[in-house]
Amino acid sequence: MQKYLNSAEETEQFGAELFKSVPSKHLIFLQGDLGAGKTTMVRGFLRAAGYNGVVKSPTYTLVEEYTIGTRKIFHFDLYRVVDPEELEWIGIRDYFDQESICFIEWPDRGKGFLPEPDRVITLKTQGLGRSLTMDYGS
């Protein structure tokens, strides 16, 4: 699936639409350069789930956890991961064993330690907006 998003608002709206189609256990890889809108899309997803707090990029914390009702949502940012083995030290497999939705930014930094995703969403800056491509995992 391909889509053009004209603004941050449309990027958030896509995240909200995505919320409607994602089961309670799902792994989504988010690809795109810095500033491409990955966290903005997750914000829209979380807002649709009923979260009203601040949604920030987990660039420095590596993971942000949200519990909304009975749903657990984890937002990872692997940008600062130097060695994929670091993911073992934080117990990343434990996150995937739960009934949870996991968003992973910069998944290439975790190669060899991440399972196959259910979806891959790629955002690219294009003009004043973003192009979005969504593929389903194998």
pTM of whole model > 0.75? yes
Domain ranges of the chain: 2-136
**Which residues lie closer than 8 Å to 128 by C-beta, 6 or more apart?**
6, 7
As a whole number, mean pLDDT of residues 3-17 equals 95
Domain 2-136: give its CATH code. Answer: 3.40.50.300
DSSP 8-state secondary structure symbol assigned to residue 55: -
**What pLDDT band is residue 138 in, cutting at 50, 70 and 90?**
low
As a whole number, mean pLDDT of residues 63-72 equals 92
